[in-house]
Amino acid sequence: MGKRLIFMVLLLLVVASELLLPTVMSTVVSQSMMKLTGSDHVEAKLSKSPAVLMLDGEFDKITMLADHVKVDKIVFSQMNIALTNAQLDMGKLLSSRVVEIKSVDDVTIAAVVGQDDLAQYLNHSVKGIKNAVVVITPDKVKASSTFAIGGLINVAVSLEGRIVGDGQKIKFVTDRFLINNTLTGNIGGSLLTEIPLVDLNKLPFHVGVRDIVMENEKVTINLDNHSH
């Protein structure tokens, strides 16, 4: 009877861990990632078989959907993150709500920046640009704004170009520069020829650019790192 009772208790513990641990750990990681990314909402899902190994920081898969993620000076409206075969530092996660990756096989990220997010970045981060309005299509990104020349003259300008990756940098590269809808030289000089948007080294994961997809109203930056 004693052995049977012990077996039943162990069975209940295993079942409880399979049911409860993924939910508990998902909540902890969600809270930690909100702190790390500055996001106002993170939904995390974690899996491991058997689930009890989560207590040692081992995870087969971690997926996270985060809204309004601030990286460097730009805000991504949405970021999808997937980690495969990840080992987390459980001491830091449970005691300080800090996500520290000890090892991971694969990282993939899809970061979405919208028109309003890009316009806000230009207004706040590029000297001389005011009241920017951004329109994103599959062919180009167009930014229309007022530009101050030498702090004395304000002119209406339009920049047409692309979002590109250059090593660990994401930037807006100008293909056409217009004043009052007239094609002209770049009066803004190098300041408006290439506008830096984000440094990937500021991300909590080491990743590189796989591709950048421009669509109507948004740009999706696909990042990854495959160590195996």
* Number of domains composing the chain: 2
Is there a single domain that holds both residue 39 and residue 68?
yes
- Angstrom distance (rounded) from CA 42 to CA 32: 9
- Domain ranges, residue 63: 2-112
**Hey, which residues does 41 pair with through a beta bridge?**
67
Is there a single domain that holds both residue 175 and residue 197?
yes
Burial 198-225 (b: 16+ CB within 10 A, else e): bbbeebebebebeebebeeebbbbbbbb
Is there a single domain that holds both residue 92 and residue 149?
no
pLDDT value of residue 36: 83
Give the other-Cβ count within 10 Å of 132's Cβ: 20
* End residue of a domain, out of 112, 142, 167: 112
- Angstrom distance (rounded) from CA 112 to CA 134: 15
The full DSSP string for 58-107 is EEEEEEEEEEEEEETTEEEEEEEEEEEEEEE-HHHHHHH----EEEEEEE
pLDDT value of residue 72: 80
* End residue of a domain, out of 61, 87, 112: 112
Q: Tokens in use for 92?
A: 């830091």
**Averaged pLDDT, groups of 10, the chain, 228 residues long:** 58 62 88 86 91 88 94 90 94 87 93 95 87 94 84 81 91 85 57 83 88 96 84
Is there a single domain that holds both residue 71 and residue 155?
no
Please give the span between the terminal C-alpha atoms of the chain, in angstroms, as a whole number. Answer: 49
Is there a single domain that holds both residue 69 and residue 147?
no
Is there a single domain that holds both residue 99 and residue 67?
yes
Q: Please indicate, yes or no, if residue 52 is contained in any of the structural domains.
A: yes
Q: Please indicate, yes or no, if residue 91 is contained in any of the structural domains.
A: yes
Q: DSSP 3-state assignment of 3?
A: helix
Residues 169-182: tens digit of each pLDDT: 999 998 888 877 67
* End residue of a domain, out of 97, 112, 127: 112
Is there a single domain that holds both residue 90 and residue 151?
no
Q: Please indicate, yes or no, if residue 228 is contained in any of the structural domains.
A: no
pLDDT value of residue 228: 55
Is there a single domain that holds both residue 81 and residue 172?
no
